[in-house]
């Protein structure tokens, strides 16, 4: 199994993500430069965190026009698993692959701290094999993670079961204080209609080894790997 | 040469944490009469070889596709030649 990690100018979690995929999960991984539209041979694609294009204009707004994003869009349309982490999530929103947009955190500050997220759905490429209701501890590091969608849209994605992760307390209770960035309905992660594109704000790659304080993030990558294995790589294999 | 000015602001229905923070600061400075502040972005786009109408059409497209995110933002355009 081979997983691609897209590198934009300003990505800064690309090497951490590569490290976890390759050295912690034992999978083949390769970097994909943002100017390359070539995803051939890849079974899954990760858009890592960072500050692509210095967050100019809006977070992820310029990266979505990189040549690689047309390839990612086509890959996703064929059912290929795509995971966007933090800035990767923002890029997927700007590209229209995931709904919503990120406002500045409600307290305006950049937040860098561990958070707890509850798994709401275990039927997406980034959560298969997890238990619904399970709570994962991972760090966030963002200034714009305050998810916004109009109420009618929120109702629709909730009805479609597309909220994958929610900010909660350590024991899985919804509390305003646990929703640190003020996201609508405490949403920390979402998926597309086909459930093969998932975005989340916390950084699983920074919490995939015990020495880092939490290894919960590893489950996200293991889910991605499991979903490729289940689907059979023929479906996801980029042509 | 036409000059287009594009103003991008958060939609009225969208909470603006930065505007709120600026408003709070103005309150503590004693500007009691300031009822609200909304923060936005301003762009100047210079367009060559176009009439004002063409420049407006192109700018409209640029604003919709790139400068504003329609999920959270709206925009207005002024064109002068």
Predicted complex ipTM: 0.85
User: How does pLDDT run across A35-68, given as a tens digit for each residue?
Assistant: 999 999 999 999 999 999 999 999 999 999 999 9
Position A232 scores a pLDDT of 61
Domain boundaries of chain B, sorted by first residue: 2-80
Position A114 scores a pLDDT of 97
Position A237 scores a pLDDT of 47
User: How does pLDDT run across A146-171, given as a tens digit for each residue?
Assistant: 999 999 999 999 999 999 999 999 99
Which chain A residues are closer than 8 Å to B13 by Cβ? Answer: 150
Catalytic: which of A94, A120, A205, A222? A205
Which chain A residues are closer than 8 Å to B69 by Cβ? Answer: 58, 61, 94, 101
User: How does pLDDT run across B10-63, given as a tens digit for each residue?
Assistant: 999 999 999 999 999 999 999 999 999 999 999 999 999 999 999 999 999 999
**Residue A139 — φ and ψ, nearest 5°?**
-85, 150
Say yes or no: B42 contacts chain A, CB-CB below 8 A: no
Residue B81 has pLDDT above 90, yes or no: no
Contact at CB, B13 and A57, closer than 8 angstroms = no
Structural fold of domain A2-236: Rossmann fold (3.40.50)
Position A230 scores a pLDDT of 82
Position A91 scores a pLDDT of 97
Q: What is the pTM of this model?
A: 0.93
Minimal Cα distance from A64: which residue of B? B66
Say yes or no: B57 contacts chain A, CB-CB below 8 A: no
Position A101 scores a pLDDT of 97
Asked whether A1 and A229 are in contact (CB, 8 A), the reply is: yes
A150 Cβ contact partners less than 8 Å away, ≥ 6 residues apart = B13
Shortest Cα–Cα distance, B38 to chain A (Å): 13
Catalytic: which of A34, A116, A142, A203? A203
CATH code of the domain occupying B2-80:
3.30.1280.10
A19-29 in b/e burial notation, b at 16+ Cβ within 10 A? bbbeebbebeb
Which chain B residues are closer than 8 Å to A57 by Cβ? Answer: 66-67
Position A231 scores a pLDDT of 76
What residues of chain A score a pLDDT lower than 50? 233-239
DSSP 8-state secondary structure symbol assigned to residue A214: B
Burial (CB < 10 A; 0-12, 13-18, 19+), residue A47, is buried
Query: Pseudo-torsion of CA A171, A175, A176, A177, nearest 10°?
Result: -40
């Amino acid at each position: 199994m081979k997983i691609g990690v897209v590198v934009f100018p300003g990505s800064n979690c690309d090497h951490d993500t590569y490290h976890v995929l390759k050295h912690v999960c034992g999978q083949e991984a390769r970097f994909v430069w943002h100017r390359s539209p070539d995803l051939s041979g890849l079974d899954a694609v990760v858009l890592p965190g960072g500050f692509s294009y210095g967050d100019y204009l809006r977070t992820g707004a310029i990266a979505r026009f990189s040549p690689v994003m047309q390839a990612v869009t086509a890959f996703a349309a064929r059912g290929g698993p795509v995971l966007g982490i933090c800035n990767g999530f923002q890029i997927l929103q700007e590209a229209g692959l995931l709904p919503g947009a990120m406002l500045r955190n409600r307290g305006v500050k950049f937040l860098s701290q561990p958070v707890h997220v509850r798994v709401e759905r275990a039927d997406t490429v980034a959560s298969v094999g997890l238990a619904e209701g399970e709570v994962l501890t991972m760090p966030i590091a963002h200034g714009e993670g305050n998810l916004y969608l109009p109420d009618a849209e929120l109702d629709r994605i909730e009805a479609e079961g597309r909220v994958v992760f929610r900010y909660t307390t350590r024991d899985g209770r919804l509390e305003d204080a646990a929703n640190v960035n003020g996201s609508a309905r405490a949403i920390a992660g979402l998926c597309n209609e086909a459930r093969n594109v998932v975005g989340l704000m916390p950084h699983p790659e920074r919490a995939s080894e015990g020495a880092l304080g939490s290894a919960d993030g590893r489950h996200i990558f293991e889910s991605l790997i499991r979903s490729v294995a289940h689907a059979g790589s023929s479906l996801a294999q980029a042509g | 040469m036409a000059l287009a000015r594009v103003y991008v602001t958060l939609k009225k229905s969208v909470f603006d944490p930065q505007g709120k923070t600026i408003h709070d600061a103005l309150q503590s400075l004693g500007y009691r009469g300031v009822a609200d502040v909304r923060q936005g972005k301003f762009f100047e786009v210079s367009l060559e070889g176009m009439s004002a109408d063409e420049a407006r059409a192109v700018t409209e497209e640029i604003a919709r596709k790139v400068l504003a995110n329609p999920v959270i933002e709206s925009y207005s355009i002024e064109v002068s030649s």
